Chain A
Amino acid sequence: MWRRLVRDRLLWLFLLPGLAYFLIFHLGAALGMGIAFTDYWPGGGIGEASWTGPGTFGRMFGDPDFWHAVLNTLEISLLQLVFFFPVPLALALLLHSLTSTTVKRFVQNVVYLPHFISWVIVVAVFQQILGGAGVLNGFLADNGMHTIDIIGNPDAFKPLLVAQIIWKDSGWGTIIFLAALSQVDDTLYEASVVDGAGPWRRFWHVTLPSIRPVIVLLLVMRLGEILSVGFEQVLLQRDAVGPAAGEILDTFVYYKGIVGGDFPYAAAAGIFKGLVGAVLVYAANKIAHRLGEQGVYR
């Protein structure tokens, strides 16, 4: 044992910076969750805080603002699932059906690009296009139509979030579907054509079943992240619509802790999110296995 450690000393040296990072910023931070059970306040050090037990969780579960944030998060998650999730699949099917490699490459390069643009810029660009003085309303006003109030309108907030994520990540999301589509066994198509199947029947009976494992895998992963709905995206725009429409669990943690200084409460909300996420990944994976799919892990 000792000799192997000495023999591999250079490897351990290689390991050091990365391992130190994970120990400090992941394991160390995991220990930091403990402040949810203390009366820590930002002015004092960690040593000055004393244990209070799980009382903070009781306060959290009795707080209507907390449940409101959870509800908003779930609502946005559901909207994303219904309106965003199928878009990359549809786009991938469209791209896959193209016979010209040049056109396909060109469109791919265009639609992947927004993925690399920061949320700050995406939100700024959306304001420029859809805002009160933006392109859309300028066009509507010039043509004698009613302008529409999108940016800063609490009722339009959640659809706006979904529209932004469709714009930013639909193209990027096609990558995994395109890979799955290219793996579909060509002889299955040939056989189904021989049996007289048209394009629709081929889609239902060959394409869809062939890429089902990938769809299930992505759904399982999405379910595990049901309480994560794009923290940066929402934080950038929450103030414009107020907490009633715009507060999600992550921004709740941010405003309670970083802004409000109630670190134990914010940490408790963070723990809640982590636990629910872990349970959901586990449950979703179980469901996937029941359905006879691979899921995320075995």
Chain B
Amino acid sequence: MSRPAWSEKPGPVTVTAKAVALTVICLLVTVPFLVVVATSLASPEEVTANGGWVLWPQHPTLDAYREIFQGGQVTRAIGVSAGITIVGTAASLTATTLLAYALSRPQLVGGRKIMLGILFTFLFPPGMIPAFLVVKELGLLDSYAALIAPVLVNVFNLVIIRGFIQGLPAELFEAARLDGASEWKVLRHVVVPLSKAVLAVVGLFYAVSYWNAWFHASIYMSDAKWPVQQLLRTYIISGAQLADPSASEAGMVSAPETVRMAVLVIAIIPIVVIYPFVQRYFVKGVLTGAVKS
């Protein structure tokens, strides 16, 4: 984008002010992450000597990460999080796509009414206690399904996919019907290949929300089945002790700051890794959703 013809060239003061503002904003976002990563890579002695954190480790070491992956509580929690994220994302994406496709077909009797009903649930969520009761009455307490089933379809994601399918040219569907293709074939061979980008974005939205979730785990699951975010919550924010298999005599040891920061890094890494893939699409995705709703 170049400067429009009507706009005057900004003076040196304006340019400097903008540059300073942008630099400060970027530093405010990135420096906290750098502190966390640097602290996780430092030696415990260095961290203690420096008062709890470092910005640049003198003798970088991966000891903290080795300790995490020794097979204790953290290893298991990472496994739980990864499993929930993979299974949950697959289930959510499938259910949402099928629902969005069915609700985008104009010939479906009552489709519009169903969509309105679903949008209504979005405006009036039932609340925590009734949701808890449903999970309890279904016998899902302490089962991993309790972390997926109650959040299976997100209305926002549904609106994004449905809006995208509705935007596909009607002739495509007409041609497929003339060829005698079933709805399944149309979905599988026409709609899904054309919707790859939007499905990828929604899939990544789901993956992020499953990976980041902790509250449902805290009320539905016993601690042996906690995902990594809930583990982080109890032992970094609430300051609980971490069970350490290597310190069996003592049973519990207070994890050094380096280990705590290493768990933080592990919990952030999947987000940072997939981020570059989503960010190309999500602006478009968010806007489609915003316009439609």
Which segment, of B28-36, B58-66, B248-256, faces chain A? Answer: B28-36
Counting CB contacts under 8 A, is A175 at the interface? yes
With a cutoff of 8 Å between Cβ atoms, the chain B residues found around residue A189 in the complex are 4, 6-7
B residues 222-269 near A (Cβ < 8 Å) are: 229-230, 232-233, 236-238, 261, 264, 267-268
**Of A11, A28, A116, A239, the contact of B108 (CB 8 Å cutoff):** A11
Counting CB contacts under 8 A, is A81 at the interface? no
Q: Please judge, given known A-B contacts A14-B101, A120-B229, whether A257 and B132 are in contact too, CB under 8 Å.
A: yes
**Of B6, B32, B137, the contact of A46 (CB 8 Å cutoff):** B137
Do B128 and A258 have beta carbons less than 8 Å apart?
yes
Do A4 and B107 have beta carbons less than 8 Å apart?
yes
Do B29 and A273 have beta carbons less than 8 Å apart?
no
Q: Please judge, given known A-B contacts A14-B99, A120-B229, A121-B268, whether A267 and B129 are in contact too, CB under 8 Å.
A: yes
Shortest Cβ distance from residue B71 to the other chain A in the assembled complex, whole angstroms? 23
Counting CB contacts under 8 A, is A208 at the interface? no
Tell me, in angstroms, the Cα distance from A170 to B225 when the chains sit together.
34
Which segment, of B46-54, B72-80, B168-176, B195-203, faces chain A? Answer: B46-54
Give the A interface residue count (CB, 8 A). 91
Counting CB contacts under 8 A, is A69 at the interface? no
Q: Please judge, given known A-B contacts A117-B271, A138-B52, whether A125 and B264 are in contact too, CB under 8 Å.
A: yes
Quick one: which of B1, B21, B36, B130 has the most chain A CB within 10 A? B130
Nearest B-chain residue to A32, judged by Cβ: B130
Q: Please judge, given known A-B contacts A10-B184, A128-B261, whether A120 and B36 are in contact too, CB under 8 Å.
A: no
Do B219 and A258 have beta carbons less than 8 Å apart?
yes
Q: Please judge, given known A-B contacts A110-B26, A129-B35, whether A124 and B109 are in contact too, CB under 8 Å.
A: no
Counting CB contacts under 8 A, is A287 at the interface? no
Nearest B-chain residue to A132, judged by Cβ: B52
Shortest Cβ distance from residue B74 to the other chain A in the assembled complex, whole angstroms? 14
Do B264 and A267 have beta carbons less than 8 Å apart?
no
**Of A35, A103, A128, the contact of B53 (CB 8 Å cutoff):** A128
Q: Please judge, given known A-B contacts A110-B29, A258-B132, whether A15 and B98 are in contact too, CB under 8 Å.
A: yes
Give the secondary structure class of A's interface.
helix
With a cutoff of 8 Å between Cβ atoms, the chain B residues found around residue A193 in the complex are 6-7
**Of A14, A129, A232, the contact of B98 (CB 8 Å cutoff):** A14
The 0/1 profile, CB within 8 Å of B marked 1, for residues 167-192 of chain A is 10001000110010000001001100
Counting CB contacts under 8 A, is A253 at the interface? yes
Nearest B-chain residue to A262, judged by Cβ: B129
With a cutoff of 8 Å between Cβ atoms, the chain B residues found around residue A267 in the complex are 127, 129-130
**Of B18, B121, B123, the contact of A97 (CB 8 Å cutoff):** B18
Do B114 and A15 have beta carbons less than 8 Å apart?
yes
Give the B interface residue count (CB, 8 A). 92
**Of A4, A98, A128, A273, the contact of B109 (CB 8 Å cutoff):** A4
Nearest A-chain residue to B107, judged by Cβ: A8
Do B133 and A29 have beta carbons less than 8 Å apart?
yes
**Of A21, A114, A128, the contact of B152 (CB 8 Å cutoff):** A21
Nearest B-chain residue to A214, judged by Cβ: B290
Counting CB contacts under 8 A, is B126 at the interface? yes
With a cutoff of 8 Å between Cβ atoms, the chain B residues found around residue A176 in the complex are 286-287, 290
- Known pairs A129-B35, A274-B127. 16 more at Cβ < 8 A? A5-B109, A8-B108, A11-B183, A17-B98, A24-B138, A94-B22, A113-B275, A120-B230, A124-B264, A128-B53, A135-B53, A138-B53, A253-B129, A263-B133, A267-B127, A270-B127
Give 17 pairs: A residue, B residue, CB < 8 Å, sorted on A: A5-B109, A8-B108, A14-B187, A26-B121, A35-B130, A111-B29, A113-B272, A120-B232, A120-B233, A128-B35, A134-B52, A171-B29, A193-B7, A237-B237, A257-B128, A263-B133, A274-B126
**B residues touching A (Cβ–Cβ < 8 Å)?**
1-8, 18, 21-22, 25-26, 28-30, 32-33, 35-36, 39, 50-53, 55, 94-96, 98-99, 101-103, 105, 107-109, 114, 117-118, 121, 123-134, 137-138, 149-150, 152-153, 158, 182-184, 187, 208, 211-215, 219, 229-230, 232-233, 236-238, 261, 264, 267-268, 271-272, 275, 279, 282-283, 286-287, 290
Closest 3 CB pairs of A and B: A18-B99, A32-B130, A270-B127
